[in-house]
Structure 1
């Protein structure tokens, strides 16, 4: 993301290669052959081109189709899915193409011309709170009261659930990675929301959180990426957002980011017993989530052991949290800190074991097996410098809710005997 942290900021996909197990890395490269004009003109809703949410997977050496090929599905403009691939371990990339009909669009518009409704914000869910306006204070109060005091998950509320239908407005694949099953099938985890998320002068960015009031779906290929189709819609359950899948001895398990803003602050899971064709209703698990959620990677041994990685923040001590507590508001104002790994030997039925990896600000991450070593790549950042009275007050007020600006990655081995 070049200009800011918005989901609609101009974004490009970059990568580095390592040929020695991560000890050294090559130069930074661009994954796609996009011109400056492409980036300026191929966006939608008046925004620059956004490319992201990549979910790569390398086909096994014994694959029936394209052994060793790296498939890299990704999103353009948070709306349509594209695919690029490499047959030389990521030295070169080719075949960049759109995967058509991987987004549910308005049936009255051709798929080629389909776009999201650019102005569909929180009013879609019945809250006129997108703009700064003295007349919408009642809606703001009603929304705040709902996330503070309503113990029911928004996916269980009839008015919210009734809106999770129709053309999709915000779509993501992964992120982190896709999955090749033992059968050779490739699954790309994905999710879709029903508001576009507004931004700009005079706009309150609440809708950027609620574009993730989403449901899950899966992209499936059985021929190495030549043809694709979508799975059945997942059962709604407690919703689904960014997610990653692992194969167990008799099922596929999806570990999922929860919305958090308006839902219980825990991660979610869902299971498939038909190779990803359908998923049972998602359910909360005992792994906590910060206030605005976070992506977390998951990996398995292919049998019964699962390792999810995620933030494990301590209770907030900020002035904002003191205010929440004073009015008995059911919100934990925590941030993306204390990256930890959990372990389950019961196929994700419980997670009794945990180890802290990084006590500081640390967020998005990705697991990978390198031989028999479990490796984790994650982003890391430092707290904003405190050099003035204003910065001290901001830190006291919101603590770890400040937007992180990671400036480095960390690659480390994680012991499997947690």
Structure 2
């Protein structure tokens, strides 16, 4: 009897565990509707599932195709009976997560079995890309800058990703990166713990695979968006170490990202102006000596007036105030206080780099109502800034050519005046000499 009872209990436990495993497993393609009818932009459209892409927090991701337009999308699907509803994620994307370095969200839908989230499709994760490509240091810096742009945006929104890593980043064209997985994201005011008291007691929180997560999150403490800086610094340093870059600026930067105490850890807005990123702005120069001009190139108009550039673009318009322009406007979202200035520690080979970083801070970019350091300009604005300085460089060369031409003309004119003056003097002297000779001849004849 006892054995029979024990056997039945064992069968029940195995069945329950099997059910739990099934719930945690990826959803199969065959279990999905075919076609999937999804409402996008107020219109119901039909999609067919092409392939399975992977597993995210509480759901599976599939590559799907619009049957009519053949446009591809990423569809996240999860069963309705999960503790984290897709509707919450949908509201997060619709209301807060609108940024060019965050995956574009197209809509939410549900049926009797599943919830669906529709996103733009990006074919490769940043982790896969870096695992299969040896990227140049300057290109990796540009990738790092974009990740910090995302974290700076989330800092303002007071959102913590909590699980920042390279396989939660996708790669688009021209090394543009996009954050995709916000399943663990929380607001600073409404937090949930990633590690329970039991996890902490058993040491699970300090397992090797979780060391990229900030200490305050692993220890079950309240955290702010600065926790993601730790994760960013950890995974970025791992890649930097693999390519063996030895530079004082690099070491200093990661030391500041990986400070265990979040109160003194560098924040995303300050990290973006660190000298490690100076090389991304080698194209920037003072344009005070260039005369006012106005040019048009296709849909872009550039006007320089009194050391302020007005850059008009269909999507990415801004003003740029020169580093030496008068009556500078204060930054609207950024202020480097005394404690943060001390974070920019000097080493023997770092002083010049820091001077360059602070000189860059003297420029002002005005986007809408916001006054920003140029280091805070995101991917598209950064690329437009490069195009702008290419134009400025051409204008500067033109100005120098005109200036040199005028200088040559002035020099030539001065030489001609001198020659003419000397010629006149010679003629006058010759006439005087001739008159003197004539006078003497006449005197001799009179005698």
TM-score by length of 1: 0.24
Q: Which structure is higher in strand share?
A: 1
Tell which structure's C-alpha radius of gyration is larger: 2
